[in-house]
Structure formats: structure tokens, C-alpha cells
């Protein structure tokens, strides 16, 4: 998995990095327990997880044609910039 220091609790930043794996059921049992333990004590990460669930549920209902081409281009540009660290 992604953690070098397995003996400690997860930080919020690590939670954000793992949320997709968590939602897809891809975390091993130990990391899943650490993830859920963090959720029990962090309202911010719990809210973030729920936002991600809602986003995925809503995005799954969108048809590609329903997104304005100019808006789609802006989204792609934003994600590319984010991925490249801009």
C-alpha cells in the first residue's frame, strides 16, 4: 500500500489520497481500519467522503452530451493543471 509508516494514524491529507481506493474497496483490511478510525474522529474528512460519494452518484447520471463543451474544456484544463501541480 502507500504507507511507509504503518504504525501511526492517518493524516487528513492521506485520507484525501485514499478516498477513491476506499470507495472502490481496494484498501487492505489494515488500511481500511485506519481509514475508518480516522473518519470516526474527523468531521472534515467524514464530510469530504460524503461529498465524494454524492459527486460520484451525480456524475454517474450525466451523459457526455449534457455537458457544455466550453465547460468540459475548462474542467479538463483545471484537472490537467491540478495533476501537473500548477
Determine the 3-state secondary structure of 22 from DSSP. helix
Determine the 3-state secondary structure of 21 from DSSP. helix
Report the 10 Å Cβ neighbour count for 34.
22
Decide which of 8 and 63 is more confident. 63
- Give the model confidence (pLDDT) of 25-37 as tens digits: 999 999 999 999 9
CA distance 64 to 50: 24
Widest CA span in the chain = 47
**pTM of this prediction?**
0.61
- Residue identified by cell 501511526 is 8
* Structural domains present in the chain: 12-83 (1.10.10)
Amino acid at each position: 500500500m502507500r504507507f511507509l509508516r504503518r504504525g501511526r494514524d492517518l493524516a487528513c491529507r492521506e485520507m484525501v489520497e485514499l478516498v477513491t481506493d476506499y470507495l472502490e474497496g481496494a484498501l487492505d483490511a489494515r488500511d481500511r481500519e485506519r481509514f475508518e478510525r480516522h473518519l470516526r474522529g474527523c468531521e472534515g474528512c467524514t464530510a469530504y467522503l460524503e461529498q465524494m460519494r454524492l459527486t460520484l452518484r451525480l456524475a454517474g447520471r450525466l451523459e457526455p452530451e449534457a455537458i457544455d463543451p466550453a465547460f468540459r474544456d475548462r474542467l479538463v484544463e483545471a484537472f490537467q493543471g491540478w495533476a501537473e501541480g500548477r
